[in-house]
Amino acid sequence: MNAPAPQRTDLLAWPVLGRFLRWRHARLALQLPLFLLAVVTIGHGLAGPQLAPKNLATLLVWVHYRGLLVMALLVAGNVFCMACPFLLPRELSRRLLTPRWRWPHRLRSKWLALALFVAALFVYEWLDLWGHPFGTAVLALVYFGAALAVDGLFQGGSFCKYVCPIGQFNFAASTMSPLEVQARDLSVCASCTTHDCIKGARDPQEPARIVQRGCELSLFIPQKTGNLDCTFCMDCVHACPHDNIGLLSRLPGEALWQDQPRSGIGRVSRRRDLSALMVLFTFGALLNAFGMVSPVYAVQAWLAGLLGTTHELPVLAILFAAVLVVEPVVLMGGAAAWTRRATGSADRLVDICGRFAPVLLPLGVAVWMAHYGFHLFTGFLTPLPVFQTLLADLGLPVQPHWGAGGLPASQVYPAELFLLALGLLGSIGVAWRVAEREHPARTAAAFVPWATLCALLWAAAMWLLSQPMEMRGTFLGG
């Protein structure tokens, strides 16, 4: 007899939290505080002191937001997309104007968003945005404008699905979340004829009028697997006439070795753009960390001497190309060639890479968490004196304490090592399951190359995080 399926926890069934999440205005209640904080942050970035440690734009964005983002993604899933303040102006604009066009068919992939993701990483390093409050505020304004323009003109969640680089980061990281939006009982979905979860609920008196939209990212709940492209907006929950959608627990990373067709996505292994997202996400984590340790300056000086230039732009371009293009091609291609030889497969190397790309994600998530967690926990009190200064400017008897920081780096480092160890174990576990799926007769032979690759990347991450890291944008040493 088959063992009974394990009981899954449903957060929407919890007394207080569940009631709040099921509330029709829950998303707005989460968006408003972040929107107001964004307004204050942008205003301070534009008009406040342009010294990074004394400005909320640089502190809250580059120290706190990033750290809290990765922590929330791991613990609760894509709650930051759920509470995204960039979409609030869009929602207000749609009360006045209805988008007329559909997103162009040729752009219905992740390639544009991936290009913007790489561009964001590049501009951050090139312009030293961590040290420029005004530039950080302008970047936030551009983000608001882009979300408003794209979703003001195009139907559905085009900005989130095809454009937003932060969204793609969140989608990739949330594959390791212990929660997902999913149907409680698939047999109920099988008998459903209206499919409101994706089409939207209509007014019984006026069938042409949609009173509650369905999933704007084209995820049909009965065929949905994992968190890719899911923003936790809960629109499907409100639209379902059978109350059959929950926020259910699951094994983190479980969807990474599953390769059945998924609604709105298809088979992940056949989506080159999704494979590229996973690769860029992981190697981008290493590159971003490398940009904050002292050996990067030696490498940049060597490249500048080799090129005979004093300009940073070409040096950074070569560094980015080396880490985000050459290195993945060599390492992923080598692992794929080893796999093909060891298993006797006749598949193309690019196809093998696509099937095994999800192996990288657990380690990639761990590197981002260790890096951003370091900045968050060593500098979590740094905005305090800025707020104290604002209160003092209002005439209150408050004395700013500019020595406020956080935990010593020596106390955070063991947690970084623990996260990297978990990431390595997760990637090795996914590698085994993918090898078992793709090569059931030669599982060990297919597994070894990718386990070796994960070990090499883990060793690189260990070395990077063992280096003294800049405390960018703070008075704590950077």
Indicate the pLDDT class of residue 472, thresholds 50, 70 and 90. Answer: low
Has residue 227 been placed in a domain? yes
Structure tokens of 252? Answer: 């983190």
Has residue 122 been placed in a domain? yes
Pair 199, 348 in one domain: no
Q: What is the pLDDT of residues 85-126, one digit of tens each?
A: 999 998 888 888 889 899 999 999 999 999 999 999 999 999
DSSP 228: T
Give the model's pLDDT for residue 474: 64
Pair 225, 270 in one domain: no
Query: Model's pTM, two decimal places?
Result: 0.93
Pair 277, 185 in one domain: no
Q: How far apart are the first and last CA of the chain?
A: 62
Boundary-marking domain end, from 190, 215, 249: 249
Give the model's pLDDT for residue 2: 47
Indicate the pLDDT class of residue 6, thresholds 50, 70 and 90. Answer: low
**3-state SS of 21-79?**
HHCCCHHHHHHHHHHHHHHHHHHHHHHCCCCHHHCHHHHHHHHHHHHHHHHHHHHCCCH
Has residue 255 been placed in a domain? no
Task: Tell me which residue of 166, 174, 133 sits closest to 473, measured CA to CA.
Answer: 133
Range of the domain at 67: 8-249
Q: What is the pLDDT of residues 181-205, one digit of tens each?
A: 999 999 999 999 999 999 999 888 8
Q: Is pLDDT of 478 > 80?
A: no
Q: Which residues make beta-bridge pairs with 323?
A: none
Q: What is the pLDDT of residues 239-293, one digit of tens each?
A: 999 999 999 999 999 999 999 999 999 999 999 999 999 999 999 999 999 988 8
Give the model's pLDDT for residue 293: 87
Pair 61, 154 in one domain: yes
Has residue 102 been placed in a domain? yes
Q: Is pLDDT of 325 > 70?
A: yes
Boundary-marking domain end, from 249, 273, 296: 249
Kindly report which listed range (167-171, 192-196, 399-403, 418-422) carries the lowest average pLDDT score: 399-403
Has residue 393 been placed in a domain? yes
Has residue 256 been placed in a domain? no
Boundary-marking domain end, from 223, 249, 275: 249
Residue type for 156, please?
G
Pair 286, 224 in one domain: no
Indicate the pLDDT class of residue 3, thresholds 50, 70 and 90. Answer: very low
Q: Is pLDDT of 180 > 90?
A: yes
Residue type for 84, please?
C
Structure tokens of 216? Answer: 């704007």
> What is the domain count for the chain?
2
Q: How far is CA 40 from the centre of its chain?
A: 24
Give the model's pLDDT for residue 475: 61
Task: Tell me which residue of 118, 203, 107 sits closest to 168, measured CA to CA.
Answer: 118
What does the pLDDT average to over 78-84? 93
Give the model's pLDDT for residue 380: 86
